Structure 1
């Protein structure tokens, strides 16, 4: 679904005055000009005359009519984007009147070099005449649901038609495309028809197709002939056609009598040598037809989440047909109104020798035992195991402590080292998600978030000795960490304990992983911090010499805490969502040096701290190594501009969303 991007260069922008209100910004590169007129409140398209313009962006304006000669001066135009000029009624803001983009018959057809045309969000009822050489056509979010006339674009590679007929943009009828339309586009590679009230797989699809999206429709049967002769199809999405509705977040449309999607066992026979990814998510499946996947020799990604496969996961043999699958998603296959005492996996899963990623969240099993994960011990390539939202309250993983999984070869130290931003570059703010991806990619990762784990001790992690990343967020952990909990985790580099009730009083917290821990997320652990009269300390920080990233966000930290944070290794600190307004109140001075002990800190986020002013004494006591400082979303009416020069390395300062009234 990749759309061509408007090329951005480092060349100076050229601004052309159109009226007293509008400017066109263009960038020139290699003699080619890319013109950006998006969101300029244009009601009419400016008249351009240039042989150098190859790209024009008119998205998000109020253009309601495209006349025949509009683009006559742009003979070499290749990429034209006119999206979101007449948004469909159900999707637009109420203050805007209804409209439908009118396109004169020869408005586009005369553009002999045009290869990409994006017309999403224009309330079009029909497809306008198109240039013959077009390769990419985007028609999403329109009212195009009955296509009879061929497009006249034999070179078309991508046709994007999703969301032309669904609950937020209704058409009140079944979607229809005449077979002649597909016969006229023999080179089509990518077709998207999701969210369109499609009731059957369209017949006579182009044999050239490599990617087909039929998700979020109302298809009830997949027959042997549905994808016949599509021997190049690599990516197929059939998700959410017979929808499971008991935990739906959007309007939900089950099949008649809540039936499952009917899948013929030979439905994918002609894709046996091509199909790489397949989604059958949300189709109310209770069982998997035997031999459905057995011929799919190249299948690598399979999504079976949001079905009713709880018992098939425990007893099924379909795993044996997935010996080349790398990623298997079984998320949210819980049995309605039932939770299992123990997570059980079918022994046949051990046949999936290529498996790297396994997603088992939302199966509702209270105990993770040795027996639970025993079938996984023979999987030599397994890297990531997700077990979120299972209401797990007891964990025992001895079974894998001497398994192939526990001795999975970790990437080299070069791969396992975070990339340093370097002193010569000013990098924008990085989130914890970014660091998680950077540290945990290709490393062993256990996700135990969103469960019921109340307490941690060393035995909790027995069997995870080689793990590099653990996510324990959104549990009920409420204890003082004293340096004994993670003793078995000799490789642990990333630890997420957000959304718990961790007590950080002990100076021995995390000391058992001090040599390896690089990123620590303690955000949203406000339970103890908001208790009146209770003291808190951050004296554990100096004992973590490898720690580079720390999040203490959204903890309401404001009183009875250590006067200064100390670390020689920490580079990134997220302290947003706390109460620095209390700590730096003019009646107190004990916290004026709070960040000064972080001698290598480069990135500091103190947004959303309810700060009304920023004391000059604080800014001169910030670490001189600081490169990025976020103070957005406070209520600052005063900032000590005269003191900012002490931060000689500062290259990014964010003061947006405050109440500042002047600049120096």
Structure 2
């Protein structure tokens, strides 16, 4: 019995000592420094997915990155292949499609054999430079598409037989002097969505473009109408510039102009001479999103008129009617006003449609007010 009591007392004493040690404050241990680990330098970001190779071809000269259709041996399709570089193009090629890739330069090596090329599409790449020697040797080229790239100026030494040149959606702020002088066959020039100013489209820039039909200078930074526009022009697009006025004799020599777009500019009544749009060749006139207070006078042959989103508060059908209503011979089509579509919404005009407007323009198929 005494042994048991003694054992119990010793056990109690041991427990008390342990509890006392637990309550004793301990010195806080300083935080250990983490060893310095040198991080690897971040790699240059890349958004280049792997190149997509074309299917097996029956043509031994077909670039492995492209598709060469057996039923159209003059065409080579290299579009949407994630290319960074243009492959060597076979001599038989006349139609070459390279759009939607990551190409940043057009070099001579790729085209050293392709002297018969007639159609070249390089839209939607990253092209900053086109080597002079490339275009000099492509004397048969008719269609050159370089839209949506990173060009800062119009490429020089363009092939003299070009019929269409598309340079839209680049960063072009310079047109080298004389670059278009030898392009007598060019019918379409597209320079919309660039950074052109009045100084970039000086009076001799379009010299030599005798057969130009369509000129697109929309989405630039022009404050004035471009000078010396080719006389054969049929379509002139100047939307989304900063044009404030039009010279009174501007359209005098443009006897074939049929489509004119001046939407989203800064035109006011003061900057638009009274009869400036009274052009017998004009069929389609766009003046939306300007600062006009009155509807301008136009030819009886005009078919479509867009004057929406201006500051027009009223419209007088008698004033804009090309002829006195009572004098119009409705049996003779050439003596009737041809207006078929009229858009006037976004102004301060309220319905109903004025009766004198309906009496004059009886061929109207659609009117938005």
**Common fold, TM-score beyond 0.5?**
yes
Matched, 1:393 2:252: no
Q: Which runs of 5+ in 1 are unaligned?
A: 1-142, 160-176, 243-259, 409-442, 530-534, 556-664
- Residues 1:350 and 2:216 aligned together: no
- Cross-structure match for 1:163: none
2:305 corresponds, among 491, 495, 498, to 495
Which of 341, 366, 369 is matched with 1:550 structurally?
366
1:393 & 1:380 partners in 2: Cα distance? 23
Residue of structure 1 in register with 2:290 after alignment: 476
Question: What residue in structure 1 maps to residue 343 of structure 2?
Answer: 522
Give the counterpart of 2:173 among 303, 310, 329.
310
Cα separation, partners in 2 of 1:543 and 1:198, compared to 1, 3 Å = same
Are the counterparts in 2 of residues 150 and 184 from structure 1 also a CA contact under 8 Å? no
Contact 2:314–2:348 (CA<8 Å) still a contact in 1? no
Deviation at 1:346, TM superposition (A): 4.2
| Structure 2 residue runs without a partner (length 5+) | 1-48, 326-335
1:298 to 153, 161, 168: 161
The answer as to whether partners of 1:194 and 1:214 remain within 8 angstroms in 2 is yes
CA drift at 1:486: 0.7
Deviation sequence 1:575-633 (CA, Å, 0-9, x none): xxxxxxxxxxxxxxxxxxxxxxxxxxxxxxxxxxxxxxxxxxxxxxxxxxxxxxxxxxx
C-alpha deviation, 1:497, in angstroms = 2.0
In structure 2, distance between residues paired with 1:183 and 1:206: 11
When the two structures are aligned, how many residues end up with a matched partner? 309
Q: Secondary structure at the match of 1:398?
A: coil
C-alpha separation between the residues in 2 aligned to 1:343 and 1:221? 24
Structure-1 separation of matches of 2:274 and 2:80: 44
CA 1:298/1:237 → structure 2, altered by over 3 Å: closer, same or farther? same
CA contact (8 A) 2:300 2:338 kept: no
Any residues of structure 2 matched to 1:575-654 within 5 Å, and which?
Answer: none
Matched, 1:222 2:106: yes
Quick check: 1:383–1:445 contact (8 Å CA) kept in 2? yes
Change (3 A) 1:479 1:241: same
Query: Residue 391 and residue 184 in structure 1: after superposition, are their counterparts in 2 closer, same or farther (change >3 A)?
Result: closer
Deviates further, 518-527 or 229-238: 518-527
Contact 2:69 2:75 in 1 (8 A): no
Show the counterpart of 2:221: 364
**Cα RMSD between the aligned structures?**
3.5
Q: Which residue of structure 1 lines up, in the alignment, with residue 85 of structure 2?
A: 200
Report the Cα distance in structure 2 between the residues aligned to 1:195 and 1:460, rounded to whole angstroms. Answer: 51
Partners of 1:468 and 1:145 in 2: how far apart? 49
Report the Cα distance in structure 1 between the residues aligned to 2:352 and 2:184, rounded to whole angstroms: 52
Q: Cα deviation per residue 1:45-86 (whole Å; 9 max; x = unaligned)?
A: xxxxxxxxxxxxxxxxxxxxxxxxxxxxxxxxxxxxxxxxxx
Q: Could you say if the C-alpha distance between residues 348 and 364 of structure 1 is closer, same or farther in structure 2, counting changes exceeding 3 Å?
A: closer
Q: How does 1:62-77 map to 2 (within 5 A)?
A: none
In the alignment, the residues of structure 1 paired with residue 69 and residue 285 of structure 2 have an alpha-carbon distance, to the nearest angstrom, of 51
The 3 A distance-change label for structure 1 pair 445 and 210 is same
Q: Which structure features the higher share of strand residues?
A: 1
**Residues in 2 aligned to 1:194 and 1:217: alpha-carbon distance in whole angstroms:** 7
Assess if the C-alpha contact under 8 Å between 1:305 and 1:330 holds in 2: yes
- What TM-score does the superposition give when structure 2 sets the normalisation length? 0.71
1:39-438 → structure 2 map (5 Å cutoff): 145-147=51-53, 150-151=56-57, 153=58, 178=64, 188-203=73-88, 205-242=89-126, 261-273=128-140, 275-291=141-157, 293=158, 296-312=159-175, 316-334=177-195, 340=197, 344-368=201-225, 372-373=226-227, 375-376=228-229, 379-401=230-252, 403=253, 405-406=254-255, 408=256
CA distance in 2, matches of 1:389, 1:382: 20
Partners in 2 of 1:231 and 1:464 — Cα distance?
A: 48
In the TM superposition, what whole-angstrom CA distance separates every residue of 1:341-365 from its partner, at most 9, and x where no partner exists?
Answer: 7884341412111111111112222
- CA separation in 2, counterparts of 1:453 and 1:353? 29
Contact 2:316–2:357, Cα closer than 8 Å, also in 1: no
Q: CA deviation at 1:544?
A: 1.9
Q: Which moved more, 1:318-327 or 1:222-231?
A: 222-231
Residues 539 and 183 (structure 1), Cα distance of their counterparts in 2 relative to 1, 3 Å cut: closer
Contact 1:328 1:359 in 2 (8 A): yes
Aligned partners of 1:192, 1:297: CA distance in 2, in Å? 25
The residue aligned with 1:462 is 276
Report the counterpart of residue 10 of structure 2 in structure 1.
Answer: none
Query: Which residue of the partner structure matches residue 541 of structure 1?
Result: 357
Q: Which has the larger radius of gyration?
A: 2
Query: 1:458: how far off?
Result: 6.7
Cα pair distance change 1:226/1:198, threshold 3 Å: same
For residue 463 of structure 1, report the CA deviation from its aligned partner. Answer: 7.5
Q: Indicate the SS of the match to 1:266.
A: helix
User: 1:225 is paired with a residue of what secondary structure?
Assistant: helix
- Match of 1:358, SS state, is strand
In structure 1, the partner of 2:321 is 511
Q: Greater relative contact order (Cα 8 A, min sep 6): structure 1 or 2?
A: 2
Is 2:255 the counterpart of 1:445?
no
